Amino acid sequence: MIASIQRFVRKTDCLVARAYLSAFRERGGLLAFLFHSLFHDEREIALNQVDPLQRTTVAQFRAFIAYYQKHGYRFVNPDELDALEPGGKYALVTFDDGYFNNVLALPVLEEYQVPALFFISTDHVRERKSFWWDVLYRERVAQGATPDQVYHEAQALKSLTTEQIEAELVARFGADALKPRGDIDRPFTPDELRAFARHPLVHLGNHTANHAILTNYSAEDAHAQILRAQEALEEMTGARPRTIAFPNGARSGPVVQTCAELGLRVGFTIRPAKNALPAGQSCSGLNVSRRTPSDLPFVRGGADHHSPPYEGRGGGGETTHSVASKAPYGKPERPWTAGSGLVQVDRFSLHDELPVEAQCRAYRSDLLLYGLFRAGYLKLARGWANAST
C-alpha cells in the first residue's frame, strides 16, 4: 500500500518533470546518487540471493551515466566538492555497503571516465559475512514470504543494533545464516578492497564498522563504530576517509559532531534532493518552503565554518533502510547542530518501476513531490512495521 503510493508519486514526478524541463531551465547543482548491489542481469536478481533493492543492472547503470553526460552533467569525485561552480551541473556516483558485485561498475566507469565513491562497512569485509537484510530476504523468500512481507520485517528490525539483528537471524535461520552464498551477495575481501581502492576512479568512504544505524547505539558505541571503520579503511588502503554515508541515513547532532571530530568532512544522506550550490542555497524546489534557513542542504566548503543542516531521515533508501524511532544517541530527526563541521550531501536512488531515462530526467527537475512527502511515507511505514510485529 505505502509502496504503491510512493510509486504513484514518483510516476507523477516524472510526468511533471517532463513539463517543467520543457518550460524552464533546470537550476545548477549537484545530483548525488546512491546504488547498492549491481547485477549482471535480471537472471542474477531472480536467484534471490540478495535483497534486490533497486534492482540495478549494469545496463541500467550505463544508461544512467550516459544520460547525465549527454545532458551536460560532469561527474565529480568527492575531493572536488569544495570547488564546484555555482550554476554548474554536477553528478556524483556512490555505492553503499561494500558488495563485491560493485566491481561490475568498473568497465562502465572506465568507459565514461566517471569517478565513484564506495562506502564500505568494514566489519563485513574483515569478517566476510553477509549483510543482514540479504540473509532475511533469501531465508524468508525461501520460506514463501512475499517481498512485501520481507520489507516490513526488515523495517521492524531497524530499531535494533546490527549485533542484535544478526543474533536474531542466527537464532532463526541457523549458525551459517550469515555466510555468503557466492559472488553475488558477498562483500569484498580485504585484499580485493585494497586492489579496488588503487583504481584511479575509485574513492572509498566510511559506512561504519558494522553497518550501524548510529542512532540505535550509545554515544560511546557510535564513536567506536565510526572510528573502527576509519582505522580499518586506512589500514587496508593507506588513506583515511573524509566522507561517511550514514547507514539507513540515521544521524543526530551528536553523531555528526563525532564524525567531525574523527576527521570526516562530508556526510551523505539518503534524502532524495538536489544539492544546491553554493553554500546555503537550496534547489530542491518545494522542499525549500518546509525548512528554516539553517536547514538548507549542502554547505559548501568543508569543515571549518558551517552549520550544516540536516534533514531527518533517510528515504531514498526506504527500500533498504528507514530510520529508527527512538535511540539513546540523540533523536534522529533533529537538525545538524551549528558548527558541526560536516557538509551534507543528499542522494537520489533509482527505482525499478520506471525507465532509467524517465527517472534521470525527473531528478534534473526542481519540482519534486516525492521528497516533499517522504517523511509522511516513512511515518506510515514505521507504523505499519510496528503494527505487524
DSSP one-letter code for 41: S
For residue 196, the minimal CB distance to Zn ion (Å) is: 17
Whose grid coordinates read 564513536?
223
Please give the backbone phi and psi of residue 222, each rounded to the nearest 5 degrees, phi first: -65, -45
Cell of 262: 574523527
| CB closer to Zn ion out of 246 and 336 | 246
Do 321 and 151 meet the contact criterion of CB atoms below 8 Å apart?
no
DSSP one-letter code for 110: H
Q: Which residues bind Zn ion (CB under 5 A)?
A: 96-97, 247
For residue 14, the minimal CB distance to Zn ion (Å) is: 26
| CB closer to Zn ion out of 67 and 329 | 329
Residue number, nearest CB to Zn ion: 96
| CB closer to Zn ion out of 265 and 321 | 321
For residue 97, the minimal CB distance to Zn ion (Å) is: 5
For residue 207, the minimal CB distance to Zn ion (Å) is: 6
| CB closer to Zn ion out of 314 and 330 | 314
Rounded CA-CA distance 256/96 in Å is 18
| CB closer to Zn ion out of 51 and 97 | 97
For residue 37, the minimal CB distance to Zn ion (Å) is: 11
Residues 6+ apart with CB under 8 A from 332: 215, 250, 251, 252, 312, 313, 323, 324, 325
**Single-letter amino acid, residue 77:** N
CA 100-275-257 angle, to 5 degrees, is 75
| CB closer to Zn ion out of 187 and 247 | 247
For residue 9, the minimal CB distance to Zn ion (Å) is: 24
For residue 109, the minimal CB distance to Zn ion (Å) is: 20
Cell of 355: 525507465
Residues 6+ apart with CB under 8 A from 189: 100, 125, 128
For residue 208, the minimal CB distance to Zn ion (Å) is: 9
Rounded CA-CA distance 160/175 in Å is 20
Specify the length of the chain in residues: 389
How far, rounded to the nearest angstrom, does the alpha carbon of residue 345 sit from its chain's CA centroid? 10
| CB closer to Zn ion out of 320 and 365 | 320
Q: What is the 3-state secondary structure (H, E, C) of 165-231?
A: HHHHHHHHHCCCCCCCCCCCCCECCHHHHHHHHCCCCEEEEECCCCCCCHHHCCHHHHHHHHHHHHH
DSSP string, 182-201: STTTPBPPHHHHHHHHTSTT
Element (H, E) at 270: none
For residue 248, the minimal CB distance to Zn ion (Å) is: 7
| CB closer to Zn ion out of 97 and 185 | 97
| CB closer to Zn ion out of 284 and 320 | 320
List the one residue out of 282, 273, 287, 314 whose CA is nearest residue 300. 282
